[in-house]
Each structure stands twice: as C-alpha cells, then as structure tokens.
C-alpha cells in the first residue's frame, strides 16, 4: 500500500498555496517549484489536476498564479486525496450486493475485497473531518485531533 507521487506532491503544493490564502497572495508555478523542489513542468502538471478537481483557481497573464478556490477549512483532505490518487476500494465493485455488511469468504477474491473495504472505511473515518486548515497552522496540530499515542518525551 503506497501513496502515489501525485498524492504526495499534490498535497504539498496545495498546502503551500493555502499558506498564502490569508494574505490573498497567489503563487506562480516557478514560486511553488522553488519552495517545494519540484520541477516547474511537474508542478504545472500537478496543479492542473488540482484545478480540474475544483480546489484551485488560476489566473493567466503577468499577474497570474494560483489561489485556493475556497477557504482552507472548506477544503476536505479526503476529497483532495480522492482526486489526486483515487480510492483504495471502489463501491461499484460490489454493486450487486448493495446491502453487504459481512465479509464474503466464498472466494478468496471476495475476502480480499472485504479487507480492502475495511481499510478504506478506517482511512475515511480518519480523514472525513480533516480540512486543509488542519495542515496549515502551527498551533492547530493534527495529532492532537486524534488519539495518537505520544512518545515518552513529556519529561524532556
């Protein structure tokens, strides 16, 4: 199970642009390329996906660049990741069993699909309330939103 390069870079670009939302500054492809260490061509390609996904607005011309299409707290990370990298488990797979809520072990394939669905549900539960805003600020940190066991550094 891996994240694609497009998910990694796409999220980084979106966060970068999001950091400038408050000051209403748009970022250009060369600027993002410099910040993130991704080639300009590749940034252009990735931003296209985010723009078509509805997360970014773009403006051409000398004063052009990219801005968020909505405020950071309105942009859900789950939606962004679905656009950038697709989903682990697609519900259309088991359309014939719309009410399915038990694992199907009749075939090995179905066992595996059920497992994928469980994992997908787990990830969805983590992401469903997470917005871009949660990935921006230094005071609002993400781990505090979840029950991640802290390392034993409370005495440091």
Partner DNA sequence: TTGAATCTTGATAAAAAAGTCAAGATTATA
Partner DNA sequence: TATAATCTTGACTTTTTTATCAAGATTCAA
Give contact residues for DNA (rule: CB under 7 A). Answer: 2, 4-6, 9, 27-30, 38-39, 41-42, 44-45, 47-48, 51, 58-66
Q: Which of 80, 55, 58 is nearest to 69 (CA)?
A: 55
List 64, 122, 128, 129, residue binding its own copies (CB under 8 A): 122
- 80 contacts which partner out of its own copies, DNA, none, CB within 5 to 8 A by kind? none
List 5, 36, 40, 52, residue binding its own copies (CB under 8 A): 36
Burial class (CB in 10 A: 0-12, 13-18, 19+), 131: buried
Instruction: Provide the CA 65 distance to its chain's centre, in angstroms.
Output: 21
Segment near its own copies (CB under 8 A); pick from 23-31, 40-48, 56-64, 96-104: 96-104
Q: How far apart are CA 140 and CA 154, in angstroms?
A: 19
Residue 92, interface with its own copies (CB under 8 A)? Answer: no
- Please give the residues from 40 up to 59 whose contact with its own copies meets the rule CB under 8 A: none
Spell out the residues 6+ positions from residue 60 whose beta carbon is closer than 8 angstroms to its own.
none
Segment near its own copies (CB under 8 A); pick from 20-28, 40-48, 67-75, 108-116: 108-116
Q: Which of 3, 13, 15, 16 is nearest to 85 (CA)?
A: 3
Output Rg (C-alpha) for the chain, integer angstroms.
19
Alpha carbon of 127 to those of 11, 44, 94, 99: distances in Å? 14, 26, 23, 24
Question: Which residues are at the interface with its own copies (CB under 8 A)?
Answer: 1-4, 7-8, 11-13, 15-16, 19, 35-36, 77, 81, 85-88, 98-103, 105-106, 108-109, 111-112, 114-116, 118-119, 121-123, 125-127, 130, 135-138, 141-144, 146, 148-153, 156
């Amino acid at each position: 199970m891996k994240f694609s390069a497009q998910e990694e870079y796409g999220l980084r670009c979106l966060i970068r642009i999001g950091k400038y939302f408050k000051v209403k500054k748009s970022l250009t492809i060369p600027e993002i390329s410099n910040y993130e260490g991704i080639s300009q061509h590749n940034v252009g390609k990735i931003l296209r996906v985010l723009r078509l996904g509805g997360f970014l607005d773009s403006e051409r011309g000398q004063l052009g660049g990219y801005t968020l299409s909505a405020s950071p707290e309105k942009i859900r990370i789950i939606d962004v990741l679905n656009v950038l990298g697709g989903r682990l488990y697609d519900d259309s797979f088991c359309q014939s069993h719309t009410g399915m809520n038990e694992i199907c072990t009749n075939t090995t394939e179905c066992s595996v699909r059920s497992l994928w669905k469980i994992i997908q549900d787990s990830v969805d539960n983590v992401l469903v309330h997470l917005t871009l805003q949660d990935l921006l600020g230094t005071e609002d940190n993400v781990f505090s939103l979840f029950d991640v066991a802290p390392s034993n550094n409370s005495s440091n």
